[in-house]
Amino acid sequence: MTKKDYILIAEALIDSYIATYDLYESKQRSDGVFHVISRLSASLYKDNPRFSGERFMAYFNKGIATRDPLHKSYKGRIVAK
């Protein structure tokens, strides 16, 4: 897998995480998503020992911080539906 593939996976996880913000409380969804990311990171590392789980998680956290209205450091604007 390439860096591009890892980014696509992270983007899908970010989108899924944000899509659930009105369905679950923040704590519940973060626990589930972080568990998935932890398992996924371990599997990706087995596939490629050069894979960095820390970098993968940092990319995910940055995506959440810039796009999730419930995140404490969200800088965006909530648009009415």
8 A C-beta contact, residue 70 and residue 78: no
pLDDT per residue over 22-35, tens digit each? 566 555 666 677 78
Q: What is the pLDDT of residue 71?
A: 59
Asked if 14 and 64 count as a contact pair (C-beta separation under 8 A), the reply is yes
Nearest Cα neighbor of 51 from 41, 40, 37 is 41
| Percentage of residues of the chain with pLDDT beyond 70 | 68
Distance, CA of 48 to chain centre: 20
Whether residue 66 is predicted with pLDDT greater than 60 in this model: the reply is yes
pTM strictly above 0.85: no
Q: Which pair of structure tokens corresponds to residue 37?
A: 């990311």
Instruction: Supply the mean pLDDT for the chain.
Output: 76
Q: Indicate the residue type of 18.
A: I
pLDDT band for 72, please (50, 70, 90 cuts).
Answer: low
Six-digit token string for 33: 């998503």
